[in-house]
Amino acid sequence: MHIVITGASRGIGQALRAHYLGQGHQVTGTSRAGGDGLLPLDVTDPAGHARLAATLGEAPVDLLICNAGIYVDKGQSLDDGYPAPLWADTFATNVTGVFLAVQALLPNLARATAPKIAIISSQMGSDTRAPGGSYIYRASKAAALNLGRNLAADLQPRGMAVGIYHPGWVQTDMGGSAAEITVDQSASGLATRFDALSLDTTGCFETWDGRAHPF
């Protein structure tokens, strides 16, 4: 299987890359800077996606994992925080970056036998779980969830399944050391969910450990 993972230099993306390489799969990982076996890709840059597609050429992509994301508004104040540039930067990465990755690699996905797209969102994007705060990140992950659901509708007739996933509260730079699970636990659980994804379950929003998450 050929797997493409955006944001594979650290955290969940890095763990997913290690997981699939350990299973003997072909993995193309990306990071903003590239290096260390990763291809350079700033997911906010359309030209970068075009270069990635050109590098892959006609190679089929069985699984595209849209993992790259940022969380820059942690701790911001409702009264005087959340400046407009943070909104623009976050949506460019967490939402537009996902769409551009899918769009650029559609021809490669179409060459696979049973292509899948996995979008890493978050329970923080759930409309039914809204405790306040982190407005930018929550809104961007809600948009990523909405994007995934609509992609699922449009790509199902093309034989492409799309799943959206909450990776858990993970011990990463983003999640912090007090988080509930390790990156390896998250990656292993997510990989199991990706394996189970099919055209019958396309558009699902699931947790890393297999529970349906409320939208």
How much is the pLDDT for 139? 96
List, in order, residues 6 or more apart from 148 with CB less than 8 Å away. 98, 117, 119, 121, 162, 163, 164, 203, 205
Q: What is the CA radius of gyration of the chain?
A: 16
| DSSP state for residue 214 in the 8-state scheme | P
- Bridge partners (DSSP) of residue 150 are none
How much is the pLDDT for 54? 98
Confirm whether 137 is a catalytic residue.
yes
> H or E segment at 38?
none
Q: Which of 20, 71, 137, 165 is catalytic?
A: 137
pLDDT in single tens digits along all 215 residues of the chain:
999 999 999 999 999 999 999 999 999 999 999 999 999 999 999 999 999 999 999 999 999 999 999 999 999 999 999 999 999 999 999 999 999 999 999 999 999 999 999 999 998 878 888 888 999 999 999 999 999 999 999 999 999 999 999 997 776 655 555 657 788 898 999 999 999 999 999 999 999 898 988 78
List, in order, residues 6 or more apart from 54 with CB less than 8 Å away. none
CATH topology of domain 2-207: Rossmann fold (3.40.50)
| DSSP state for residue 211 in the 8-state scheme | P
CA–CA separation, 91 and 196 (whole Å): 29
How much is the pLDDT for 38? 98
The answer to whether the CB of 32 falls within 8 A of the CB of 69 is no
How much is the pLDDT for 181? 79
How much is the pLDDT for 172? 64
The answer to whether the CB of 25 falls within 8 A of the CB of 77 is no
Q: Measured in whole angstroms, how far is the alpha carbon of residue 155 from the centre of its chain?
A: 17
| DSSP state for residue 122 in the 8-state scheme | -
CA–CA separation, 103 and 197 (whole Å): 20
The pTM of the full predicted model, rounded to 2 decimals, is: 0.94
The domain ranges of the chain are 2-207
The answer to whether the CB of 90 falls within 8 A of the CB of 73 is yes
How much is the pLDDT for 123? 85
Residues comprising the chain, all counted: 215
